[in-house]
Amino acid sequence: MGTNNMADNKKLMLRAGLVLGLFSLVGIGLVSFTHSITHEKISENERLFVLKNLRELVPESLHDNDLLANSLHVSDPKVFGNEQEVTLYRAFKHEQLVAVIASPTAPDGYNGSIKLLVAIKENGELLGVRAVLHHETPGLGDAIDTNKSDWVHSFNGLSLLNPKPKSWRVKRDGGVFDQFTGATITPRAVVKTVLRTLQYYQKNKEALAQTAGATNG
Amino acid sequence: MDSYRKIFNNGLWENNQAFVALLGLCPLLAVSNTVINGLALGLATTLTLILSNATVSLIRHQVGNEIRLPVFVLIIASIVTAIELTMNAYFFELYLILGIFIPLIVTNCAIIGRAEAFASKNPIGASSIDGLGMGLGFTGALVILGAMREVLGSGTLFANAHLIFGDVAKDMTITVIANYEGFLLAILPPGAFIGLGLLIALKNVLDKRLAKPVFQTVNLSLDTKKA
C-alpha cells in the first residue's frame, strides 16, 4: 500500500514537472520569437535616441563623422570623484576635433543620480548641457529639463576661464549659477558635475584630439 | 450573447478592478499622471488580460491543480515580455516614459486574479470577454484619474498624444487652463491617492443613484395602474 502510494506520488510529480517544463519551453519560444523580430528595430531605436540627443548639442553642420562610431569609455576617479564610466562622443571635421560630448552622471541629485550630456567645444567652451535622465521632484528640481525651464541653457558659452572655477557654484554657495526656488540640491549637483567634466576635458584635451586618425571611420 | 454582455459589464463597472476590487493600485497610482500615460498602460494591461485569460482558459483541463499557479505566472510573464519588446520596438518614446511599469504588469494582481477566478473555470469566449471588460474597466480608471491629475497638475489634457497616435495627434493637446502655474500635489503620489479616493466615492454615489430610479419607476407604474 505504502509503496504504491509513493509510486503514484512520483508519477504525479513527474507529470507536474513535465507540464511545467513544457510551458517554460512554450514561454521561451514566444519570447525568443518576439525578440527575433524586434531586436533590430530596438537597437536602431536606441541608436537614434542617443543620436537625437547628441545632435541637439552638436549640429550636423559642425562635423563630418559618425558620432557614435567615435565614442570612448573612460573613467577618472580623481576628476569625477567616483568610479563612474563616462562615455565620450567626439565630433571631427576634416580629421580635426571640433567638439566632445561627455555623458557624466551627477550622483548627488535630490532623488538619486542625474544623467547629463555635456558638450564642449574644442577650445573648452560649453556648447550646451542637457539632463537626459533624472528623478528630480516635478515642479521643483525638474527645472533642469529644457521643456520645463531654460536653466540648462545658462551654461552655453561658459568655460573654465569664464567664470573662474571658484564661481562654478550656485548663488547660495557664493557662485554665479541660479538655484531654483525650493531646490538647491539639484542645480548644485549639476553645476558640480559640469565643472568636473570641463576639468576632465582640460586635462585630456591633447589625447582626445590625437586619436582622431586611429579611430575615425 | 446576453451573458457575454453581463460578463463585459461586470468587468467594466460592477466589479471594476481599480474602483471595486482595488487591484493593480501600484501601476494605477504611479502612471495616472497624464491621460496618455494612463491610456497606454491601460491598453497594454488590457491586451495582457485578454491573452492571458484566453490562454489559461484553453489549457484549463490539461494543467493539474498543484502546478496551476506557476503555469499561470509563466504564461503571464511570457505574454508581458513579448508585449514589452513590441512596445520597445514600435512605441519607443512611450516605452521610455512608462519604463518599469510595462514589465511590472506581470505583478498586477488583477491579471492572475482573473486567470484564477474566471478563466480557469470558463470557456475561451467568455474568458476573453472577461479579459476585455476587466481591462477596459482598468483602462477607464487610469484615463479618468489621469485626466483629473493632468488638468489639476499641469492644466493640459492629452499632452504627448503623438506618442500613441503618431504625428497626426501632435496638436491634440488641449490647454484647459492657460498660463497655469501647476498644482504639484496632483502630480505627486498623494494626488493619486486622493484622486482615487474621490473617484471611488463618486462611483458609489452613482451606483446608489442608478439603483434608486428603477425602484421609483416601479412604484410609479404601479400607481398609474391603480389610477
Of the partner residues A20, A27, A45, the one whose CB lies closest to the CB of residue B78: A27
Q: Which three-class secondary structure state does DSSP give residue A51?
A: helix
User: Is B89 an 8 Å CB contact of chain A?
Assistant: yes
User: What's at B145, amino acid-wise?
Assistant: L
**CB within 8 Å: B85 and A38:** yes
Q: Tell me which of A1-15, B40-54, B97-111, B140-154 is least confident.
A: A1-15
User: Is B96 an 8 Å CB contact of chain A?
Assistant: yes
Query: SS in 3 state form for chain B?
Result: CHHHHHHHHHHHHHCCCCCCCCCCHHHHHHHCCCHHHHHHHHHHHHHHHHHHHHHHHHCCCCCCCCCHHHHHHHHHHHHHHHHHHHHHHHCHHHHHHHHHHCHHHHHCHHHHHHHHHCHHHCCHHHHHHHHHHHHHHHHHHHHHHHHHHHHHHHCEECCCCHHHHCHHHHHCCEECCCCCCCCHHHHCHHHHHHHHHHHHHHHHHHHHHHHHHHHHHHHHHHHHHHC
Q: What is the DSSP letter of A143?
A: G
- Minimum CA–CA partner of B77 in chain A: A27
**CB within 8 Å: A139 and B184:** yes
Of the partner residues A24, A33, A42, the one whose CB lies closest to the CB of residue B88: A42
Mean pLDDT, to the nearest integer, of B195-215? 86
Q: What is the DSSP letter of A211?
A: T
Q: What is the pLDDT of residues B44-62, one digit of tens each?
A: 999 999 999 999 999 999 8
Mean pLDDT, to the nearest integer, of B114-137? 95
Chain A: which residues have CB within 8 Å of chain B?
A: 12, 15-16, 19-20, 23-24, 26-28, 30-31, 33-35, 38-39, 41-42, 45, 49, 137-140
Q: For every one of its 217 residues, what pLDDT tens digit does chain A have, with 9 covering 90 and above?
A: 556 788 888 888 898 899 999 999 999 999 999 999 999 999 999 999 889 989 999 998 889 888 888 888 999 998 998 889 999 999 999 888 999 999 999 999 998 899 999 999 999 999 999 998 888 887 788 889 887 889 999 999 999 998 888 899 999 999 999 988 888 999 999 999 999 999 999 999 988 887 644 444 3
As a whole number of angstroms, the longest Cα–Cα distance in chain B is 69
CB B36 within 8 A of CB B160: yes
- Minimum CA–CA partner of B64 in chain A: A16
Most B CBs within 10 Å, among A28, A38, A43, A180, to test the B interface: A38
Q: Residue B214: pLDDT band by 50, 70, 90 thresholds?
A: low
Shortest CA gap B218–chain A (Å): 53
- pLDDT score recorded for residue A146: 86
CA distance B87 to A38: 9
- pLDDT score recorded for residue B226: 46
- pLDDT score recorded for residue B210: 85
- pLDDT score recorded for residue B215: 53
Q: What is the pLDDT of residues B10-21, one digit of tens each?
A: 999 999 999 999
- pLDDT score recorded for residue B227: 42
Q: Which residues pair with A121 in a beta bridge?
A: A99
CA distance A149 to A141: 10
- pLDDT score recorded for residue A211: 62
Q: Residue B213: pLDDT band by 50, 70, 90 thresholds?
A: low
Of the partner residues A27, A28, A35, the one whose CB lies closest to the CB of residue B85: A35
Of the partner residues A16, A33, A49, the one whose CB lies closest to the CB of residue B64: A16
User: Number of A:B CB contacts under 8 A?
Assistant: 63
Mean pLDDT, to the nearest integer, of B149-155? 89
Q: Which three-class secondary structure state does DSSP give residue A182?
A: coil
- pLDDT score recorded for residue B53: 96
Which residues of chain A neighbour B71 with C-beta distances below 8 Å?
Answer: 19-20, 23
**CB within 8 Å: A20 and B70:** yes
Of A75, A47, A51, A46, nearest in space to A63 by CA: A51
**CB within 8 Å: B187 and A139:** yes
In the structure grid, which three cell numbers stand for residue A165, read together?
572655477
Most B CBs within 10 Å, among A31, A140, A142, to test the B interface: A31
Which residues of chain A neighbour B155 with C-beta distances below 8 Å?
Answer: none
